[in-house]
Amino acid sequence: MDVLERIDQIVKSNPVVVFMKGTPQMPQCGFSSRTAQALQACGKEFAHVNVLMDPEIFENLPRYQDWPTFPQVYINGELIGGCDITLEMYQKGELKKAIDEAVA
């Protein structure tokens, strides 16, 4: 399967997914760590992909939604943004609302 199809399938089959460096339990980048913490604080399960363990996704994810950096958070198949946007939405209460709606 083409890597972009593989990414698309991951995004479409999980209501909430973060592509990050490391895992929520053992993040390997400060931005990924904070993003995963904000998602965890919303209290619902979410999927994650460790891009450091998947070189093909690491190389190609930036062109999937034309977004150059990691982490990337997708809710309901749509790109939410990276660390700064996820954190800002969390602080405004918008992240929890979006996640609750996505997993409902």
Partner 1 sequence: MTVQEIIEKKLADNFNPLHLDVINESNNHNVPEGSESHFKVVVVSPAFAGKNLLSRHRLINTTLADELKNSIHALAIHAYTEDEWNETSGGAPMSPPCLGGGK
DSSP 8-class letter at 65 = T
Minimum separation from the CB atom of position 87 to partner 1 (A): 7
Q: Which of 57, 55, 56 is nearest to 18 (CA)?
A: 57
Task: Give me the 1-40 binding string for partner 1, x by CB under 8 A, dash otherwise.
Answer: --------------------xx----xxxxxxxx------
The answer to whether residue 102 forms part of the interface with partner 1 (CB under 8 A) is no
Q: Which residues bind partner 1 (CB under 8 A)?
A: 21-22, 27-34, 52, 58, 66-69, 79-85, 87-89
